[in-house]
With several copies, the nearest count.
Chain A
Amino acid sequence: MIDKRVATLADAVAGVADGSTVLVGGFGNSGVPVELVHALLEQGAGDLTVVTNNAGSGESDVAALIRERRVRKIICSYPRSAGSVWFEKFWRAGEIELELVPQGTLSERMRAAGAGLGGFFTPTGADSLLAEGKEVRVLDGRRQVFERPLPADVALVKADRADRWGNLVYRTAARNFGPTMATAAALTVVQVREFVELGALDPEAVVTPGIFVDRVVQVAP
């Protein structure tokens, strides 16, 4: 019997260890697993490497993790926003490490981890500062930089509906990094708006098959 549903947010993030690499879905305020991130804050894991597109905003989710000094390092494409005050404060003080990755490369590196690949060459950023220290090779007539997979211990993802096998569908642009992050982590934890019966999701339209999902928790919208 496969049942990946868990009863509480605390169950969902149970066991996340200090020093973990944690993927956090979302782009801007779309598709952010806010409740899971707050549960992780509550759970207490620290010394985290957080991989997420932005570096949090205001006092919520990733910004709160940073504020509470749980984050050793951020791997992201765009840490700067109107509300990214906690990140900027610690960054200026040299108290948080930043690895800046072009957005498509960030996503592709997580995909490579989930796909069992050893890395890939991409033209993105090959002529930029972000290629410094990396292997660059001319392939198909253009300079390309070698990028390595980005695997993680935990992924926190927000989806819309799930069944007990962990099959997922998303809503509009909230899909963003979720499907890729779900493949790249040893433990994939998902919050959804609604549980549905097994068989209720159209097999032609499942976006993340349950094979990539470990725990699902329902969060009231």
Chain B
Amino acid sequence: MTAPRLSAVDVARRVARDIPDGSYVNLGIGLPTLVADVVGPDKEIVYHSENGVLGMGPAPAPGEEDPELINAGKQPVTLLPGGAFCHHTDAFVMMRGGHIDVSVLGAFQVAENGDLANWATDEAALPPAVGGAMDLAVGARQVLVVTTHTTRDGRPKLLPRCTYPLTAAAVVDRVYTDLAVLDVSPGGFVVREVAPGVTPEALQAVTGARLTFAPDLTVVRPD
């Protein structure tokens, strides 16, 4: 794979395009957080955080941080007019109860049937930790995954079956990587878009699962 990969911000821009105006959205820690920075000002999006914040605004100006007003990634945030606080149990009612329109999650692995592994690897040296990942994966109306197409050492993350412990089975709707946009369909991954310069053959070569290419395959437009 020699074609340049999309930057994290470009992938976030591509995700942002798929989020409808007026959505209730939860952005997972890491790459997904970038999405909020690139959603256009024409859209009114209500961001949810599992620690009990609905209607998060941009990061506070330096010096303006409130140490108690944080998001799930423990970063200081602000609250928009119209925002509201709730307790943890109610925040998870929103998640598990299907009230979040879009959940954008990171992933270690995604299987062609939509299985998601994003909470544990096979590394036994660190204590396990799950947080809200499983609730987000089972509860949101749409589960979008943002991830690099391969691991740092080049192994595929899109697989016939996950080898890491599952977060949830058959939940992922769409995957955005630095090489492609793929839908999870009953027949497995369908590639909708590829990054500029990426050929179907090259994409298949770095993907563990067998890919189908959409008849109207296009090149990713991040903007």
Chain B, range 10-59, C-beta contacts under 8 Å to A: 21-22, 24, 44, 46, 48-55
Mark each residue of chain A from 7 to 22: 1 if its CB lies under 8 Å from any CB of chain B, else 0.
0000000000000000
Chain B, range 47-91, C-beta contacts under 8 Å to A: 48-55, 66-70, 74, 79, 81-89
List the A side residues contacting B155 at CB < 8 Å.
Answer: none
Which of the residues B22, B99, B125 comes within 8 Å of A2, measured between beta carbons?
Answer: B22
List the A side residues contacting B98 at CB < 8 Å.
Answer: 116
List the B side residues contacting A80 at CB < 8 Å.
Answer: 126-129
Mark each residue of chain B from 184 to 213: 1 if its CB lies under 8 Å from any CB of chain A, else 0.
000000000000000000000000000000
A-binding segment of B163-171, B175-183, B215-223: B163-171
Cross-chain contact A88 with B89 (CB below 8 angstroms): no
Mark each residue of chain A from 137 to 176: 1 if its CB lies under 8 Å from any CB of chain B, else 0.
0000011000000000000000000011101001111111
Cα separation A126 to B79 with both chains bound (whole Å): 34
A102 nearest in chain B by CB position: B134
- Chain A: number of interface residues, binned into ranges: 35 or more
Cross-chain contact A28 with B83 (CB below 8 angstroms): no
Taking the closest CB of chain A, its distance from the CB of B206, in whole angstroms, is: 27
Cα separation A123 to B79 with both chains bound (whole Å): 30
List the A side residues contacting B166 at CB < 8 Å.
Answer: 127-129
Which of the residues A108, A114, A203 comes within 8 Å of B83, measured between beta carbons?
Answer: A203
Mark each residue of chain A from 88 to 116: 1 if its CB lies under 8 Å from any CB of chain B, else 0.
10011000001011111101101101111
Taking the closest CB of chain B, its distance from the CB of A144, in whole angstroms, is: 9
Taking the closest CB of chain A, its distance from the CB of B130, in whole angstroms, is: 5
| A79 located at the interface, meaning its Cβ lies under 8 Å from any Cβ of chain B in the complex | yes
Cross-chain contact A102 with B87 (CB below 8 angstroms): no
Cross-chain contact B84 with A209 (CB below 8 angstroms): yes
List the B side residues contacting A113 at CB < 8 Å.
Answer: 97
| A195 located at the interface, meaning its Cβ lies under 8 Å from any Cβ of chain B in the complex | no
Counted as pairs of residues, one from A and one from B, with CB atoms less than 8 Å apart, the total is: 201
Cross-chain contact A107 with B88 (CB below 8 angstroms): yes
Cα separation A188 to B135 with both chains bound (whole Å): 23
Cα separation A198 to B57 with both chains bound (whole Å): 14
List the A side residues contacting B131 at CB < 8 Å.
Answer: 77-78, 102-103
Which of the residues B86, B127, B132 comes within 8 Å of A91, measured between beta carbons?
Answer: B127
Taking the closest CB of chain B, its distance from the CB of A94, in whole angstroms, is: 12
| A124 located at the interface, meaning its Cβ lies under 8 Å from any Cβ of chain B in the complex | yes
B87 nearest in chain A by CB position: A179
Give me 16 other A-B pairs in contact (C-beta within 8 A), A91-B127, A173-B85 excluded: A1-B22, A29-B74, A31-B68, A79-B129, A87-B127, A98-B127, A116-B139, A117-B96, A123-B138, A124-B139, A127-B168, A128-B167, A163-B82, A172-B66, A209-B54, A211-B99
Binding site for A on B (CB under 8 A): 21-22, 24, 44, 46, 48-55, 66-70, 74, 79, 81-89, 92-100, 115, 119-120, 125-135, 138-139, 165-169
- CB pairs A–B below 8 angstroms (27 shown): A1-B44, A101-B130, A102-B130, A103-B130, A103-B135, A104-B50, A104-B89, A104-B92, A113-B97, A114-B97, A116-B98, A122-B96, A124-B135, A125-B130, A126-B138, A127-B166, A129-B165, A170-B85, A173-B69, A176-B87, A177-B88, A180-B87, A207-B87, A209-B84, A209-B94, A210-B46, A211-B46
